[in-house]
Amino acid sequence: MRKQDLQIRRLTVLAMLAALSYVAFAVLQFRILLPGGDATSIHLGNAVCVLGALLFGGMYGGVGGAVGMSLGDLFDPVYITYVPKTLIAKLCIGLITGALAHRVFHISEQTDPKRRSLYATLSAVAGLAFNCVFDPLFGYYYKLLILGKPAADLTLAWNVGATCLNAVISAAVGVAAYLALRPALQRAGLFRDLLK
């Protein structure tokens, strides 16, 4: 494969993951309005981030998820102030999931389906567990700095609950989609060169 073709393929994968994570976050969400004009949501954006990291590597899943969900924040007046948090958190989900999946567990070379499922699940859970801690804490201190303690205290419990529920749903959906898509993509040779 020519270098230019590989670069086009990589950009296409990143754009596709960003678009999918945007739609999964901005369109397919259940918004929970909180007092003071704030909100949190249940969404599948993190599942796309995990899926991209499992299929193509942490950088693809992280950058795709960070760009897509940050655009979702940017276009929504309720979430616009969360763009920096979203960029960092979603990039880290992808990087952690991808590093464990491909550098520690080597899931691309795994031939045993049970081990592949286990390693994909452990990798996804690790990336999303980081988000369960980082996202609410960063949000709390961010609100504490800008809005003060009462506003930060008020939304912390809701954000923790929504983030943890998102993590469970995203791990299940992301790993299931990975296990369903991987064989077809492998047969087509569509991701072999991207992981190098």
Structural domain count of the chain? 1
What gap in Å lies between CA 26 and CA 44, rounded to an integer? 9
Q: How high is the mean pLDDT of the chain?
A: 89
* Domain presence at residue 104: yes
Position 176 in a domain:
yes
Using alpha carbons only, what angle is made at residue 105 by residues 181 and 133, rounded to the nearest 5 degrees? 90
Q: Region 36-48: what's the mean pLDDT? A: 88
Q: Is 83 exposed, middle or buried (0-12, 13-18, 19+ CB in 10 A)?
A: middle
195 lies in some domain: no
According to the model, what pLDDT value does residue 143 have? Answer: 74
Residue 10 lies inside a defined structural domain of this protein: yes
Q: What is the pLDDT of residues 144-177, one digit of tens each?
A: 777 666 766 777 888 888 999 999 999 999 999 9
Domain that holds residue 81: 3-188
Q: Is residue 196 part of a domain?
A: no
Gap between the Cα atoms of 191 and 57, Å rounded = 10
Give the pLDDT mean for 99-126.
94
Residue 193 inside a domain? The answer is no
The continuous run of DSSP H or E covering 54 comes out as: helix 45-56
Answer whether residue 7 is part of any domain.
Answer: yes
Domain-embedded: residue 124: yes
CATH, residue 123: 1.10.1760.20
Rounded Cα distance between 71 and 69, Å, is 5
Rounded distance, CA 35 to CA 59, Å?
Answer: 36
Per-residue CA distances from 68 to 20, 103, 157, 194 (Å): 7, 25, 26, 20
Q: What are phi and psi of 64, to 5 degrees?
A: -60, -45
Q: Using an 8 Å Cβ cutoff, are 106 and 128 in contact?
A: no
